[in-house]
């Protein structure tokens, strides 16, 4: 279980998180939703230790909030796919997967390419020549090389056509069914409701409510409320 207890976060002197509580179980997908500036990305950064925080971040019972980012990702199998994907666009698909990978990670490249057959046929193509959806798969593939137990995704569908977003989320569901815990930021509450087990609505850096997506009534209420603030 990935657990946040009363996590506060700051950019310099500006406080962005005011006490976030959150749980992501292995095999579950939790979506962070909320308006621009609600603190969704900052919550992911707090888990990685990329902003100054107070409060508790635990992975499978172990407190990690005092650890530097590299220890969190290496020792606790947390991986992130940033918004904008962070790829080296002039390099090929394979080069992007290989860059920075250690031996164990390189050994998983075949497995990752098996998951994304469309990339397997394009390993020597420059990333800049791929479609947005294919680029997102490369970014996901890079994260998967780390064999994460918990995967953090910041708006994986950003800038992609709806049908491509569906495809990306199908892959994410597959990973989840293999036991990975997924925490994702998703702008569209409706889409989040269709892919996640649980929605966490953030408002001004704190959790407004947590909704189980099987509870259609509360999901509809959340969609209505979120549209209200989205204007």
CB nearer ligand ATP, residue 39 or residue 148: 39
Measured CA to CA, the distance from residue 94 to residue 30 in angstroms comes to: 30
Return the residue of 2, 7, 16, 140 that touches ligand ATP, per CB under 6 A. 16
Question: How many of the chain's residues bind ligand ATP (CB under 6 A)?
Answer: 11
Strands (E), 130-180: 150-154
Stretch that binds ligand ATP, among 11-19, 95-103, 139-147, 206-214 (CB under 6 A): 11-19
Instruction: Give the strands of the sheet with 62-63, arranged side by side.
Output: 14-24, 2-11, 52-59, 62-63
CB nearer ligand ATP, residue 40 or residue 72: 40
β-bridge pairing 52-59 and 2-11: antiparallel
- Min dist CB 1 to ligand ATP, Å, is 23
CB nearer ligand ATP, residue 83 or residue 95: 83
Residue 126's beta-bridge partner residues? 92
* Residues 157 and 165: beta-carbon distance below 8 Å: yes
* Residues 17 and 8: beta-carbon distance below 8 Å: yes
- Min dist CB 8 to ligand ATP, Å, is 12
Site string for ligand ATP, 29-58 (x = CB under 6 A): -----x-xxxxxxx----------------
Contact set with ligand ATP (CB under 6 A): 11, 14, 16, 34, 36-42
């Amino acid at each position: 279980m990935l657990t946040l207890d009363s996590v506060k976060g700051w950019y310099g002197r500006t406080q962005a998180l005011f006490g976030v509580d959150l749980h992501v179980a292995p095999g579950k997908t939790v979506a962070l939703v909320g308006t621009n500036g609600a603190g969704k990305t900052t919550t992911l950064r707090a888990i990685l230790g990329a902003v100054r925080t107070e409060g508790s971040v635990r992975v499978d019972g172990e407190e990690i909030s005092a650890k530097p980012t590299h220890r969190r990702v290496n020792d606790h199998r947390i991986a992130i796919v940033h918004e904008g994907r962070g790829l080296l666009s002039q390099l090929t698909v394979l080069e992007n997967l290989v860059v920075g990978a250690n031996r164990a990670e390189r050994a998983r490249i075949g497995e990752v390419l098996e998951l994304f057959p469309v990339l397997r046929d394009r390993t020597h193509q420059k990333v800049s020549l791929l479609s947005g959806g294919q680029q997102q798969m490369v970014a996901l593939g890079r994260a998967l090389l780390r064999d994460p137990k918990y995967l953090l995704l910041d708006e994986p569908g950003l800038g992609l056509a709806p049908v491509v977003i569906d495809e990306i989320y199908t892959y994410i569901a597959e990973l989840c069914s293999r036991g990975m815990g997924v925490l994702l930021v998703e702008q569209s509450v409706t889409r989040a409701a269709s892919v996640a087990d649980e929605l966490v609505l953030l408002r001004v850096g704190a959790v407004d409510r947590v909704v189980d997506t099987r509870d259609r009534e509360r999901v509809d209420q959340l969609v209505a409320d979120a549209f209200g603030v989205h204007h």
